[in-house]
A and B are shown apart, each in its own frame.
Chain A
Amino acid sequence: MAVNWARSGSPWLIHFNTGGCNGCDIEFVAAITPVYDVERFGIKLQGSPRHADILAVTGPVTVQIAHSLKRVYDQMPSPKFVVALGTCAVSGAPFRNCYCVHGGVDSVIPVDAYVPGCPPKPEAMIDGIAKLLQKIRGTKG
């Protein structure tokens, strides 16, 4: 109970771009500006994967970066969650069958929440993360 409350009350994010066009990244950075004030939910952006709870991934996973993504995921302490931001991260989108693209994020690591859009608005990203937090609060600890 208390643990789920604490987990859903203090999600710390780390951002990872797996080869996107930067559109999603700009929107993600916009989502953590004072205008949207995600600290209301206790969200903080962390630099080190060791401190983070939620991995926010943008862009299609290229073959070259797939093992780095896996490695950053492994460096995070569990329980850890992954949000795929943008259609590219959800499925690979237009780059799906490209020779250099591995696929969506869920072809490499498990994903807990998908936020489609090219790019999704900051509001949509915050909504996706808030839904993930609801999920964490609901799960049995």
Chain B
Amino acid sequence: MVAYEIFQLVVFPGALFVICLAFLYEWVDRKLFARVQGRYGPLYTGPAGILQPVADFLKLLSKEDIVPRACDANLFFAVPVMYAALPLTALFIMPIAAPEALVSFEGDLIFILFSFGLMTLLIFLAGWSSMSRFSAIGSVRSALQMLSYEIPLGLVLVCPAIAARSLSVSGIVQWQAANATWGAALQPIGLAVVMVCMLAELELVPFDIPEAETEIVAGWRTEFTGRRLALFRMGRDLEIVLVSALVVSLYLGGAQQLWLVPAAAMFVIKTAAVVAVFSFARALFARFRIDQMIAGMWKYLLPIAVAQVVLVQMGLGA
């Protein structure tokens, strides 16, 4: 029994499965992005380029590790590790192979929200500790961005919890299963707001202001090389899995068995669909300016999020 539990934590649906999924989704994202631009994308590294993210990761691991003299060494060493570990930890709360997650407790939705905030804080520290002007601008932009999307996101994520009368992600999935419905059918406005906020959380193209390559080199990650950059990239990939898992669990029915298709397969199909939406958004839009983004979030997204809460409280969509 203990051996099986360890297997669950380490291999499936735990760490190893999730890391493979992270690499797979980076490939899916790059491939779709390329198809929208009318090209092939990664092609020669493994069959159809599927090993491209693995090659990138291995290459970065084997590169020289440069530590700038001016940087704050402790933070510079610690932040990349924490950045990769945090989404991995949070993913244990997501129901992947069954409607019940490996770890679940009443209030884990709040932990997820908190970990999103912490990710941004880590980005801020990463940029700040490297003591480069580009990193500093990138990290300040990242913090500013958080101030604008965090509030609508928090408001809207509470709505499924109100509807299901449970503050745990697994509880919300089970409520959807019991009522044979999807959150998206009841709260389409909430789903739209969450998708927009998640694009900002992941710093994907319309909101990739903190790492705008044409303006500030590579933003907050400018000074990171080798291993540390590899960890940041893996953290980002894991965060994409985390975000799509959250959207799937709260709005798209989560990991539920459908007829003969097992729950884990349904989970992979649904999260891949969410990733596809992200990569289409990335390919179709151009970057906003930071002031446009903040003004837009406060002027339009926040009232819409409040409206969704009011609707749920009035009994619509619950």
Set B30, B41, B58: member contacting A3, Cβ < 8 A: B58
> Hey, what's the 0/1 contact readout for B24-58 against A, CB within 8 Å counting as 1?
00000010001001111111110001011011111
Stretch in A15-23, A44-52, A94-102, A109-117 touching the partner? A44-52
Set B45, B134, B214: member contacting A42, Cβ < 8 A: B45
Residues B217 and A42 in contact, CB atoms below 8 Å apart: no
Query: Looking across the interface, which residue of chain A has its beta carbon closest to that of B30?
Result: A39
Residues B218 and A77 in contact, CB atoms below 8 Å apart: no
Query: Looking across the interface, which residue of chain A has its beta carbon closest to that of B34?
Result: A39
Give residues of chain A (10-37) contacting chain B, Cβ–Cβ below 8 Å.
10, 34-35, 37
Q: Cβ of A75: which chain B residues have Cβ within 8 Å of it?
A: 66
Candidate in B37, B49, B59, B217 with the most chain A CB atoms within 10 angstroms? B59
CA distance A50 to B57 in the complex (A): 15
> Hey, what's the 0/1 contact readout for B204-226 against A, CB within 8 Å counting as 1?
00000000011001100111111
Residues A2 and B218 in contact, CB atoms below 8 Å apart: no
Query: Looking across the interface, which residue of chain A has its beta carbon closest to that of B224?
Result: A50
The answer to whether A42 and B218 touch (CB under 8 A), given A9-B51, A79-B63, is no
Set A2, A42, A77, A78: member contacting B56, Cβ < 8 A: A42
**Residue B65 is within 8 A (CB to CB) of chain A in the complex:** yes
**Residue A7 is within 8 A (CB to CB) of chain B in the complex:** yes
Report B289 CB to chain A, min CB distance, Å.
18
Q: Sort chain B's interface into a size bin.
A: 35 or more
Residues A39 and B51 in contact, CB atoms below 8 Å apart: no
Q: Sort chain A's interface into a size bin.
A: 20 to 34
Report B36 CB to chain A, min CB distance, Å.
10
Give residues of chain A (53-112) contacting chain B, Cβ–Cβ below 8 Å.
53, 75, 77-79
CA distance A46 to B233 in the complex (A): 14
> Hey, what's the 0/1 contact readout for B283-318 against A, CB within 8 Å counting as 1?
000000000000000000000000000000000000
Residues B55 and A40 in contact, CB atoms below 8 Å apart: no
CA distance A14 to B37 in the complex (A): 22
Residues A48 and B66 in contact, CB atoms below 8 Å apart: no
Residues B45 and A46 in contact, CB atoms below 8 Å apart: no
By a beta-carbon cutoff of 8 Å, the part of chain B in contact with chain A is 30, 34, 37-45, 49, 51-52, 54-59, 62-66, 134, 213-214, 217-218, 221-226, 229
10 A-B pairs (CB sep. < 8 Å): A6-B54, A6-B56, A7-B59, A34-B34, A40-B41, A40-B44, A42-B49, A42-B52, A48-B222, A77-B66
Q: Closest 10 CB pairs between A and B?
A: A6-B58, A9-B55, A37-B39, A77-B64, A40-B43, A9-B45, A48-B218, A6-B59, A47-B213, A77-B225
